[in-house]
Structure 1
Amino acid sequence: MAETVTPAVQGNPPPPASTRRERTGWYVYDWANSAFQTTVITVFLGPFLTTVAELAAGCELGADTCDGYVHPLGIRVAAGSYYPYLISLSVFLTVFVLPVVGAVADRSAHKKRLLAGAAFTGSGATIAMAFVTGDRYLLGGALFLIANISFGAAIVVYNSFLPQLGGPDERDGISSRGWALGYLGGGLLLAINLVAVTMFSEEGNPQRTLDLARWSIVSAGVWWALFTLVPLRWLREHPTAAALAGGGNVLTDGFKQLGRTLREIKAYPLTLFFLLAFLVYNDGIQTVITLASQYGTEELKLEQSTLITTILLVQFLAFGGALSLGALARRIGAWKTVLLSLVLWTGVIIAAFRLPAEAPVPFMILGGAIGLVLGGSQALSRSLFSQLIPAGKEGEYYGFYEISDKGTSWLGPLAFGLVFQLTASYRVGLVSLLIFFVVGFLLLLAVPIRRAIVAAGNTPPRVL
């Protein structure tokens, strides 16, 4: 079995070698959690919660338009804006939660327990969506907040394993394989749900469609919980120097360490600059992923089966896209490859704005283009960031990173929701996302990436 020796933490013996079995277990968690990202966030939850909110606003089930309002906590919200606002609220909360989770992970000698706690809390909240019936939009919103925050917390812990799984020249490939397997797993469950929706939906029965969406969401929670058992079995602990030192309370020490990191982080300005660029452009990527289904349903008037088929196409093309861009990164470097992907994302937004309504074929072609750039841009950003983290602080830094990763965007949905509430046009809302890709590209272009890696105390890969 091939092994990769991970770098030693100063003052401590080298951590145990990373084996192929352990890396495979790490890949499988991407397979497990991607069901939530794909089935829940990307396809079903947006239209489902929007419909539930519309019911609470007094609109008829299956109505083409709804100008009604709901009043969560006494706040007047357009039913069509409820879901984008929920996304923004969940990310606002993760700003406070995820860095703390990362700090605790760095101080703990039992990161797998943290991974289990976050993953099973999120999957449990997802399964509990079975009880969101009728006009229970508040229950659905609360469960989504719990699930999405837990999802992000689990990803923070999961990502913190990456620097221990391979050296500088290996991480692009490791990260790309994880993303690729995740898209494959998410696509497989989505295919199962596609078959279910096709077989059991009834024309003229919107209640049946709503029920199928709810149970598809529940299936993602079951999938997430079930396959999380594999990485919990195969991953091994790679404790940091602070964790090996022991003593004190992990939670309170985690808060203290986070405070020290926030004070000391200015010593790594180039890492912060990269993080800023990532937060901007990935916010745009995540907003496209999260709101694509709602855009297709509400603006383009596409059938649910068309949306699911398109997202399924995206998933399987993203599997190949992640591996292909990973291979390209080996030739020209991850930094240049991510920059290229952002140019392609800008083209995607322009094309999406011009899509005709009730035309499934152009929508599916655009989905194919998204699939080719989606996985690679995200996988390579993750591995590139791993090069910029000071040793022993992987969890904390990935806590900041996760604020805009895998469904936790906030500025994009907020802008989209505000523009929709002001103009009642999803197309105009979509245009507002262009700035995230343009500004993100310019910020990333300005990062002296090799110097940033050296400044963090790490060895740069051969090609950047």
Structure 2
Amino acid sequence: MAETVRPAVTEPAQPGSTRRERTGWYFYDWASAAFQTTVITVFLGPFLTTLTKLAAGCELGADSCAGYVYPLGIKVAAGSFFPYLVSLSVLLTVFVLPVVGAVADRTVHKKRLLGVATFVGAGATLGFAFVTGERYLLGGALFLIANICFGAAIVVYNSFLPQLGGPDERDGISSRGWAIGYLGGGLLLALNLVAVSMFSEEGNPQRTLDLARWSIVSAGVWWAAFTLLPLRWLRERPTAAALAGGGGNVLTDGFRQLGRTLRGIKAYPLTLFFLLAFLVFNDGIQTVIALASQYGSEELRLEQSTLIVTILLVQFVAFGGALALGALARRIGAWKTVLLSLVGWTGVIIAAFWLPAEAPLPFMILGGCIGLVLGGSQALSRSLFSQLIPAGKEGEYYGFYKISDKGTSWLGPLFFGLVFQLTASYRVGLISLLIFFVVGFALLAAVPMRRAIVAAGNTPPRVL
């Protein structure tokens, strides 16, 4: 079958990135990881679940309570509210993130777009200062705003990656960004751990709830403050489409361009196939990240301090894991390295199913295993996808990519929530996630990466 001949895309010549610019890019991971780690991974699930149980008539500190709430008249088990909320946020981002990506490709002020998304999201996170008592709906609304803005900001941030290095450099750049992010998220989490340890009172669950709330607020402060560095050090690198925009409305131009991309994306079936594989296995990864604390607190009955120490351990092990898998990718290729990491994730899920309740040490050991595979699987997936994007459409394609990245997956949390509602067992919900890793591995293994990169008009790296 004859290949389709596509017109060449002429992008403006980009000057090589400087160390200062790359450091600025790394620091956005440092800034935004606080939201991912402190809010999504550790505090928000148990915090909102507790508020939801209070609204359902449960007593604060009760070991078990099968209460229900009725947001918008819909009957929801209190333990399922947060997983459903994560799923809802993703359904909304399906419509928002590709548009944000298209606008990023059409604007000459991409840094400004990054700043707006960040500061609105950080402001919503700061709003948790007012989420008290039984205000679980206010907390849910603020989370939706913050999580959608978080996704939008990451789309813009990721779109800088292909412009910061060539095909053989991006795995390293992406891995260093993830590694720096784990340090930043880990440092804020360590500070919150100190606060929880110093100010919590035995037999006072209200104090624990208040400490969780202010820890969430601290992530908003961190996210906003450290974003000032990338906004100062990154350079604007407009695409040819942005330079030729002629001063039109960038939003309407973005919508029109998104429509053209959706109509033309079928010309890159291998890119779509990779994206499908990523959406499946990353759904599993993000569900584990988002619901790990809820699983630890509700099923394993672990203390909040144990959960924080474990996630802190994950952060610092993941720093080394991201760099180690990045080094492995230089030897055997990023594609093979990601496949190996998915084998590791499968082992983690099986081990987590058999964890004993009220046993902190096995939970912490498993957290260390997660750290080894977490950073590399995400960083290398990001750099692999950068090889499959047609020139000048980085923002749009990362908009599609981000729909299932960093806590915005929806099938996994929805599946987990439904299984829990049917079985009242978090363990059964967790083991059901194996399907995402097994199917994701099979799909990724079937992608002919070198041919896919060439088909997108790019030069493959030396090792895949």
- The interval holding the TM-score normalised by the smaller chain is over 0.9
**Is residue 70 of structure 1 aligned with residue 85 of structure 2?**
no
The answer to whether the Cα contact below 8 Å between 1:28 and 1:182 also exists between their aligned partners in 2 is yes
Q: Deviations over 1:323-360 (max 9, x none)?
A: 00000000000000000000000000000000000000
Q: What is the Cα deviation at residue 18 of structure 1?
A: 1.1
Q: What is the Cα deviation at residue 16 of structure 1?
A: 2.9
Q: Deviations over 1:378-429 (max 9, x none)?
A: 0000000000000000000000000110111110000000011111100000
Q: What is the Cα deviation at residue 13 of structure 1?
A: 4.0
Partner Cα separation in structure 2 for residue 268 and residue 84 of structure 1: 33
User: What residue in structure 1 maps to residue 111 of structure 2?
Assistant: 112
User: What residue in structure 2 maps to residue 137 of structure 1?
Assistant: 136
User: What residue in structure 2 maps to residue 368 of structure 1?
Assistant: 368
User: What residue in structure 1 maps to residue 5 of structure 2?
Assistant: none
User: What residue in structure 2 maps to residue 289 of structure 1?
Assistant: 289
Partner Cα separation in structure 2 for residue 185 and residue 410 of structure 1: 26
User: What residue in structure 2 maps to residue 3 of structure 1?
Assistant: none
User: What residue in structure 2 maps to residue 397 of structure 1?
Assistant: 397
Q: What is the Cα deviation at residue 10 of structure 1?
A: 4.5
User: What residue in structure 2 maps to residue 413 of structure 1?
Assistant: 413
Amino acid at match of 1:313: L
Task: Give the structure-2-normalised TM-score.
Answer: 0.98
Task: Give the structure-1-normalised TM-score.
Answer: 0.98
- The structure-2 alpha-carbon separation of the partners of 1:12 and 1:312, relative to structure 1 and needing over 3 Å to count, comes to closer
Partner Cα separation in structure 1 for residue 11 and residue 289 of structure 2: 42
User: What residue in structure 2 maps to residue 216 of structure 1?
Assistant: 215
Amino acid at match of 2:457: G
Partner Cα separation in structure 1 for residue 389 and residue 250 of structure 2: 21
Name the % identity.
Answer: 87
**Is residue 226 of structure 1 aligned with residue 225 of structure 2?**
yes
Alignment gaps of 5+ in structure 2: 1-7
Cα root mean square deviation, aligned: 0.7
Q: Deviations over 1:18-74 (max 9, x none)?
A: 111000000000000000000000000000000000000010000011111111111
Amino acid at match of 1:349: I
Q: Deviations over 1:210-263 (max 9, x none)?
A: 000000000000000000000000000110011010222100010000000000
Partner Cα separation in structure 1 for residue 107 and residue 225 of structure 2: 24
Partner Cα separation in structure 2 for residue 13 and residue 47 of structure 1: 48
Amino acid at match of 1:366: L
Q: Deviations over 1:252-299 (max 9, x none)?
A: 010000000000000000000000000000000000000000000000
Q: Give secondary structure in 2 for the equivalent of 1:444.
A: helix
User: What residue in structure 2 maps to residue 264 of structure 1?
Assistant: 264
Equivalent residues in 2 for 1:146-295 (5 A)?
146-247=145-246, 248-295=248-295
* Runs (4+) off by over 6 Å: none
Amino acid at match of 1:250: V
Q: Give secondary structure in 2 for the equivalent of 1:166.
A: coil
Partner Cα separation in structure 1 for residue 51 and residue 371 of structure 2: 30
- The structure-2 alpha-carbon separation of the partners of 1:58 and 1:13, relative to structure 1 and needing over 3 Å to count, comes to closer
The answer to whether the Cα contact below 8 Å between 2:11 and 2:391 also exists between their aligned partners in 1 is no
Partner Cα separation in structure 2 for residue 100 and residue 124 of structure 1: 22
Q: Deviations over 1:110-144 (max 9, x none)?
A: 00010000000110000100100000000000000
Partner Cα separation in structure 2 for residue 31 and residue 261 of structure 1: 32
User: What residue in structure 2 maps to residue 341 of structure 1?
Assistant: 341
User: What residue in structure 2 maps to residue 34 of structure 1?
Assistant: 33
Partner Cα separation in structure 2 for residue 298 and residue 322 of structure 1: 30
Equivalent residues in 2 for 1:41-120 (5 A)?
41-120=40-119
User: What residue in structure 2 maps to residue 298 of structure 1?
Assistant: 298
Alignment gaps of 5+ in structure 1: 1-8
Amino acid at match of 1:220: A
Amino acid at match of 2:60: L
The answer to whether the Cα contact below 8 Å between 2:11 and 2:392 also exists between their aligned partners in 1 is no
The answer to whether the Cα contact below 8 Å between 1:16 and 1:238 also exists between their aligned partners in 2 is no
User: What residue in structure 2 maps to residue 329 of structure 1?
Assistant: 329
Q: What is the Cα deviation at residue 431 of structure 1?
A: 1.1
The answer to whether the Cα contact below 8 Å between 1:122 and 1:151 also exists between their aligned partners in 2 is yes
Q: Give secondary structure in 1 for the equivalent of 2:454.
A: helix
The answer to whether the Cα contact below 8 Å between 2:341 and 2:373 also exists between their aligned partners in 1 is yes
Q: What is the Cα deviation at residue 432 of structure 1?
A: 1.1
Amino acid at match of 1:165: L
The answer to whether the Cα contact below 8 Å between 2:301 and 2:358 also exists between their aligned partners in 1 is yes
Amino acid at match of 1:29: Y
Q: Give secondary structure in 1 for the equivalent of 2:356.
A: coil
Q: Deviations over 1:74-130 (max 9, x none)?
A: 111011000000000000000000000000000000000100000001100001001
Q: Give secondary structure in 2 for the equivalent of 1:18.
A: coil
- The structure-2 alpha-carbon separation of the partners of 1:206 and 1:264, relative to structure 1 and needing over 3 Å to count, comes to same
Amino acid at match of 1:320: G
Amino acid at match of 1:374: L
**Is residue 442 of structure 1 aligned with residue 442 of structure 2?**
yes
Q: Give secondary structure in 2 for the equivalent of 1:404.
A: coil
Aligned length: 456
Amino acid at match of 1:56: A
Partner Cα separation in structure 2 for residue 134 and residue 110 of structure 1: 42
Amino acid at match of 1:117: V
Q: Give secondary structure in 1 for the equivalent of 2:403.
A: helix
Partner Cα separation in structure 1 for residue 45 and residue 365 of structure 2: 22
Amino acid at match of 2:173: I
User: What residue in structure 2 maps to residue 6 of structure 1?
Assistant: none
The answer to whether the Cα contact below 8 Å between 1:127 and 1:219 also exists between their aligned partners in 2 is yes
Amino acid at match of 1:303: E
Q: What is the Cα deviation at residue 12 of structure 1?
A: 5.2
Equivalent residues in 2 for 1:376-391 (5 A)?
376-391=376-391
Q: What is the Cα deviation at residue 11 of structure 1?
A: 3.9
Partner Cα separation in structure 2 for residue 26 and residue 12 of structure 1: 21
Which moved further from structure 2: 15-24 or 288-297?
15-24
User: What residue in structure 1 maps to residue 24 of structure 2?
Assistant: 25
